[in-house]
Amino acid sequence: MIIVTGGAGFIGSNLIWALNQRGESNILLVDHLANGRKMHNIADLNIADYMDRTEFIEQLESPGFLNGVRAVFHQGACSATTEWDGQYVMKNNYNYSKRLLQCCITRNIAFIYASSASVYGNGEHGFRVDRGCEHPINMYAYSKFQFDQYVRRVLPETTSPIAGFRYFNVYGPREQHKGAMSSTAFHFNRQVIEQKKAKLFEGCDGLANGEQKRDFVYVDDVVDVNLWFLDHPKQRGIYNVGTGKAETFNTVAQAVIDWHKEGCIEYIPFPEHLKGAYQSYTQADISGLRLAGYTKDFLTVKQGVAKYLDWLNLGVR
């Protein structure tokens, strides 16, 4: 059996979809469906069972509970960067992850988990998997960073397959439940359909309008990295998962407009509350992935947005 925590979420549901394409359906989906709209992410998936997160955590150390499990994809977390209840965040993101990791180590189960590029804070020290670059600036980022630190301490003490991924700006199918936190590609698509224009922030930090850059990575590429490490259990550690190439918001908006063959870009005032607290640039250093042996090219924004809109607007994947 394979376990996917956060399996009804964005990346988790795409992981299960990809496992289904491999013929895998002996999957336990763990989630917390307080937001029942996430069921749309999993209605077309084939799984063996569903378990609520609370029940799953309660049973973790029960004798025989994880017998027959060969891998855990741990995607579940409180992902709200605006959540400042530190006890809640650390309980759900740090303590839960530690317990699950230890259970997997005890049984030599592959543990593949989601970290986050948010551990780099404002990115002023770069985006390398290196302690000198890591400076989280919210509780979510701190919880992810602290678990990475725990993994760093544990790795030399075990031979169990353990891999953590610092996701950059992921976009693609099954993210619509995220609402305002959905990707810019998702929002630009809606805007072009409804208003014939994509709305971008004016320039900031000395940059021209819409020229802020992020490392936008398509969710299928993220999933492919996860599955590659499942297939290569000797590769262990913490890795950035992005394309390694920053592209502008203008590029994303233009890719959406090109797909629709209509529309224009409109620049709106940069929000006052974001000034001084906005990432104008992110770019993953993916040298660790390449050293591990992962050689596949990542989709560009133009390629990924076209593929995404085929699914979003036409249902084609």
What DSSP string runs through the chain? Answer: -EEEETTTSHHHHHHHHHHHHTT---EEEEE-TTSGGGHHHHTT---SEEEEHHHHHHHTTSTTTTTT--EEEE------TT---HHHHIIIIIIHHHHHHHHHHHHT-EEEEEEEGGGGTT-TT-SSSSGGG----SHHHHHHHHHHHHHHHHGGG--S-EEEEEE-EEE-SS-GGGGGGS-HHHHHHHHHHHHSEEEEEPP-TTPPTT--EE-EEEHHHHHHHHHHHHH-TT--EEEEES-S--EEHHHHHHHHHHHHT--EEEEEPPPGGGTTS---B-----HHHHHHT--PPPPPHHHHHHHHHHHHHH---
The string of pLDDT tens digits covering residues 127-145 is 999 999 999 989 999 999 9
Residue 311: what pLDDT? 97
Cα separation of 197 and 191, whole Å?
6
Cα separation of 16 and 23, whole Å?
11
Q: Which residues belong to the active site?
A: 140, 178
Residue type, 115: S
Residue type, 140: Y
The string of pLDDT tens digits covering residues 205-227 is 788 999 999 999 999 999 999 99
Mean pLDDT on 10-21: 98
Pairing of strands 2-5, 71-74: parallel
Which domains, from first to last, does the chain contain?
2-170+217-244+285-298 (3.40.50.720), 172-213+246-282+303-314 (3.90.25.10)
Residue appearing with tokens 């203008």: 250
| Of 120, 154, 74, nearest in space to 283 by CA | 120
**pTM of structure:** 0.95
Cα separation of 99 and 60, whole Å?
8
- Using the predicted structure, report yes or no on whether residue 277 has a pLDDT greater than 70: no
- Using the predicted structure, report yes or no on whether residue 60 has a pLDDT greater than 80: yes
The string of pLDDT tens digits covering residues 299-317 is 999 999 999 999 999 999 8
Mean pLDDT on 26-53: 95
The string of pLDDT tens digits covering residues 94-119 is 999 999 999 999 999 999 999 999 99
Within 10 Å of residue 125's Cβ, how many Cβ atoms?
14
Under 8 Å between Cβ of 249 and 184: yes
Residue 15: what pLDDT? 98
Mean pLDDT on 22-35: 96
For the chain, what is the largest distance between any 2 Cα atoms, rounded to a whole number of angstroms? Answer: 60
